[in-house]
Structure 1
Amino acid sequence: MPDATDDDDLTVGQVSARLGVTVRALHHWDEIGLARPSLRTAAGYRLYSDADLERLHRIVVYRELGLGLDRIRAVLDDSAADVPGALRAQRTQVAARIARLQQLGAGLDRMIDAHERGLLLTAEQQAAVLGPTWNPDWAAEARQRYGATPQWLQYAERSASRGPEEWKAVVEAVAALDRALGDAMDAGVTPGSPEADRLVERHREVFASYFPLTRQMQVCLGRMYEADPGFAAHYDGIRTGLAAWFRRIVDASARAHGIDPDTATWQ
């Protein structure tokens, strides 16, 4: 390798700063023979000539386009290389990545929207799916009340992937469970019986459409269904006394699993 003779020749550090690549990358390209400096100083330090810099510039451009180092070497050194063909193939891969990133971006937008709004349905869709008595403001109120909880985050993640049809299926599952609870109470199903325990498990499964529900959390819900005027009115509208009966079957099931309903907490 000849010694430097031109003050315009650049050191590794200068090339690194000019091209925006790391010194480590330049050393690596030198070691694998992709871009070796043509000159050395008297002290043995690498120096890059104008021709070296031009080759490095092309390497940086091709690398930014996504070509691997072996492909870049072929493009630069093989006179028979099909450069347009290589670039077209790379363009196809880039287009696929762009499409995928656009999908991810749309998914992120829905996730953000779900965290902030809860339901990603218009007021008209909510009325059609959830019924005329549904108040669109309830979702915002729930966000304000529970938005900082892990359960709201889990609910939002599920909501982000749901449209009207998916929510319709959830609503139908809840309605079917409500009917089954009312029928069971009418039939005299007693707390702690196998039939009652199956309904308790079914409630946990249906509720998982919103977020995972532990047995202790279910006990807390049972208390709320009985004590909260809105929830109590809903269940007692299905069958008089259903809210209290539901709490009893939940408490009995909890005791069978070693949980004291009187001390259960939201966890």
Structure 2
Amino acid sequence: MSYSVGQVAGYAGVTVRTLHHYDKAGLLSPSERSPAGYRLYSDADLARLQQILFYRELGFPLEQIAAILADPDASALDHLRERHRRLNDEIARLHRLVEVAERAMEVQETGVRLTPEERFEVFGDVAFDLSYATDAHLKWGASEGHARAMARAAAHTKEDWRRLMAEAAEWRGRLLDAYDAGAAPDSDLVAGLAEEHRQHITRWFTPCPPETHCRIADDYVEDARAFALVVPAAQQRPGLAVFLREAVHANARRKAGPR
């Protein structure tokens, strides 16, 4: 059976121009001609085209494909092994580039300009989830407070982060003690802890009025990734995020005073 250039292009998912190029390069010339002189491809031509496209998909240049097809039994396996090695090298290189890109995104999205080793040393179990950082940037990126927080975070030194995290850990310990002791979220003790948290954000990142603090605390309940920045997963208790949110809202009501 014979096929026109247009039919072959449609079957193979290539352009007519590509087939003409393969013909000109001597890689795939149609075996037949119609009475009117048009190119016609045979079933054997289609099988050869399938081989060509297979090697092209693997990244072989046309010259090398021509050499393989000229003597497939003698050279195809060696060529494939070499291409396999090069592809693995390229995959490893791309993995390294992905890691570099992820670190760059983390810097941009979280504002934490530390090496991975420094991050582990300073943050320990508190992990910056890049997906949350990206979502937060999309959610809050237009706000002045978010921009200021990112700028402040980017300016922090390793020692700043060490002090910040030590302060947060000490506060977190007292929050957990209050929760474990059954303190009410609107008690003086717990509302005071909420106020300390608000001041912590103001001191290290951006001014945090009570209404903004409430929105941040709401996020702790709605998104586990956000709460993990405050209390690592290993230290969390059931209902703790809701407890902190209620404490923050209780503190905000105190700040607002009687209506």
So what's the TM-score if we normalise by structure 2? Answer: 0.48
The structure showing larger relative contact order (alpha-carbon pairs under 8 Å, at least 6 residues apart) is 2
More helix by percentage: 2
Larger Rg: 1
